[in-house]
Structure 1
Amino acid sequence: MSNGKENRNKWLHVRLSLEEYNQLQGNYAKTTCRKLSEYSRKILLGKPVRILYRNQSLDDFMAEMIQLRKELNLIGNNFNQAVKKLNSLSKITEYRDWLISFEVEKKLLFGKVDQIKNRINQLSDQWLL
């Protein structure tokens, strides 16, 4: 009837100072362990602990990409506001011709902005997992 998983029914109580506890929490946060008890058990029993490694240059890159995504959204919002304003002036024939060519350029710009935003999202999802 054993499923290979041993029930843990023994308790070990450990008292720590605030400084020791904070150090333990800090070290635990850098690992792949899901629970503090799992981390503590591995340390106490001398088992290997996997440490997460973060590449600072990639973190910096991601921060820049996130900022770029925000700026692209702001540019898109400003662009839409300008188009709405121009559409209100469509009574003049010169503006109508300009608006037609402008719509083509707008679609190209928004397509490229969407491609950039999607790539930033893919990179951030990939890195932040």
Structure 2
Amino acid sequence: MEKTPKKWISIRTKPAEYDIIYSQYQQTTCRNLSQYARQVLLKKPVVMKYRNQSADEILSALIAIKNEMAAIGNNYNQAVKKLHTMKDIPEMLTWILSNDLRQQQLVDFSRDMLHQLEKIHSLCMQK
């Protein structure tokens, strides 16, 4: 059996027809339009992509949480590195007071993250 197709079939379509065909192809798992056309013309099954709106929402929320956690973690690591370079008590006290806002942001974000995870959990339990 040949691995690489050797024969060509060319067809002409109107722009609107091509748009429809291409739109249908994009909803499949076919790697390219040629593979999709071969599957259809040979009456072989075409695997369609399935879009799960709940999973999309969950993924979107998790990505937002991950990005925010990375930013907060980066800021916190920078603050701790600064703490390790300090030599005297007054400098440390100044650092602690100036980083109080970052600590509050971390606490607030943790609370928001817990709320988001509870929403995700309830969405998953509905299924």
Q: TM-score range by the shorter chain?
A: 0.5 to 0.7
- Cα separation, partners in 2 of 1:73 and 1:9, compared to 1, 3 Å: closer
Distance 1:89 1:49, change over 3 A: same
Task: State the AA in 2 paired with 1:56.
Answer: Q
1:33 to 6, 30, 35: 30
Normalising by the residue count of structure 2, what TM-score does the alignment of the two structures yield?
0.59
1:81 corresponds to: 78
Q: Secondary structure at 2:56's aligned position in 1?
A: helix
CA distance in 2, matches of 1:7, 1:89: 66
Cα offset, 1:21, TM superposition: 1.4
The 1:88/1:16 distance shift into structure 2, 3 A limit, reads same
Residue of structure 2 in register with 1:92 after alignment: 89
The letter for the 2-side match of 1:64 is A
* Aligned CA distance change for structure 1 residues 20 and 89 (closer, same or farther; 3 Å): same
- Which 5+ residue runs of structure 2 have no aligned equivalent? 97-127
Instruction: Extract unaligned runs of 5+ from structure 1.
Output: 100-129
* Alignment correspondent of 1:16: 13
Corresponding letter in the other structure for 2:37: S
Quote the residue 1:52 is aligned against.
Answer: 49
**How many angstroms does 1:58 deviate by?**
0.5
Q: Which has the higher contact order (CA 8 A, sep 6+)?
A: 1
Percent identical among aligned pairs is: 42
> C-alpha separation between the residues in 2 aligned to 1:56 and 1:74?
27
